[in-house]
Structure 1
C-alpha cells in the first residue's frame, strides 16, 4: 500500500512513469495500472482486491450440487459412493461437499446424522489416583563428544561424535500426578530395564505412591523379558501394553520425552556428555517441583500428591 501511494504522490509531483517504475523496481505497466485505478476510484482503488474470478463458468451447476447434498443427507456416504450413484467424479463431489461445509463422516452419528463429539477429540483421560498407572518408556539419546558437538561448533565431520554411542533414558511418568523418574543407563536390555523398574517403584513408594499398574510399548524386553516379568510379579504390578501402531496410547511418557529433549537435552550446547548427564537429576527435580504443567492447571506435578 505504501508503494502504491508513492506512485500517486510522485506522479502528482511531476515524475514520469518510467522513472517511478525504475525507482520502485516495478514495470511501467504496473505504474499505469495504479494510476488508472486512482483516477477511477480514488484512494480506495489502491486497496488489495480478491483474486477470485468474477465468474466461474465451469462450476458444477446448482441443481447438481443440490442432488449431491440431498443424497449425502440421506445416504450418509462418502464422495466415492455418491459419485457412483450420481454418475459424477469423486473429486467433484468432494469439492461440492467442502464448498458447502458439510461435516466429515467421522464427525456425525451414522444413524441420526447429527454432529457428535468423539471421545478422542481433544479429551484427556486421567486415572483417579497416584500410582493407578505408571507410563514407562525409553528415549535413546546420542552422546555428546568431549569438547562439545555440532550444536556448539557447527556441522563439521570432526565434531559429529560418530561411534561414541548412546545413552538410554529410562522414563517412568505417573498418569495422575505427572511425576517423573528418569535414569540414564547404558542400554535397554532385560536386566537393565528390570533394575530401573524396581528403583522407579521404590522412588514413588518413598513419596507415598503405591504403583498398581504399568503401561509400556510392545518391545520384546517388556513382552518377554524374564527379569522384567519377575520384578512385575514380585512387586504385584499389573502389566498393560499399548496397541500396536498406536504410540499415543502411552502419550504421557511420549509427551514427557518431547519436553525432555526440548528443555533439557537440546536446550543448550553441552561441553561433554558428562556435563549433560550431571544436570539430569536437577532438571527432573525442577520438572517435578517447580515447572508449571499446562495439563494440570499450570501447577508442578508434586502439588498433585497433596490434592
Structure 2
C-alpha cells in the first residue's frame, strides 16, 4: 500500500484530522487535503504519482516559426537547393524570425517526416575524421566547373583552411592553369600567411607524379618545395581525401543563384 493511500485511510477510516495526519506522516496539511480530493474524484488512481513535467514550455518553438521551417524545407527542396538546418536558419534570420537551434530545426523536420532515415548509414561515432589541429596547418585546394546562363564555361579555383574550413580564396577563370594556381596560392599566402602543408588531388596543375615522370616538377610543386611546405596528394579515384573542399563545392552549387547552371563536378 502506498504512503498516499495510508494517509487517506488514516483520515477517512482512522478518524485522524488532516492536521494530525500531516504531522504523523511528515507532509503538509495542504497535501493531505489534495490527496483526499483526488481520492474522492478518482479513487485509487488519483493517488498515483503524477508527472512533474510542466504543462507548457516557454522555450518551445512557436507555431509560426515551426510552420515556416517546414515551408522553407519544401520551397528549397523544390528548387533543388540545399534545405538543411543551417540553410533554413539563415533564411529565417533574413526574414526577421529568430531561428531555434540547428538541432531543433532538424528535430522538427524529422518529426514532420521530411528527413529520409538512412538505417544503413554508418554512425558518426564509427567514422574517423581527419582535421588539421591548427589554422594554416594544411590548406586544401581544388577547382570545379560551371556554365553561366549565357553558355560561358568557367572553372572556379578555391583554397580552404582544413582546420576551420574557412574559405581563403575563390576565383573564376576561363581555364585553371599551373600559373593560375601559383598566382592564387601566392596571393592567398600574402593575405593569410603560409601553410605548413597542402592537400590536393592529382591534377596536373598540382602535381606531375602520375604523369610517368615526364617533365619533372610543375610550377606549383617547385614553389611548394622551395618554401619548405609539405605537399600531400589524395589517392587516385578517392575524392573523400579532399572531402572538405568537395563538400564546399556542393554547398557552392546548391546555394548558387539561378543565373548559374552547374554542369559537371571535377573529382
**TM range, smaller chain:** 0.3 to 0.5
**TM-score normalized by the length of structure 2:** 0.45
Q: Which has the higher helix share?
A: 1
TM-score (norm 1): 0.39
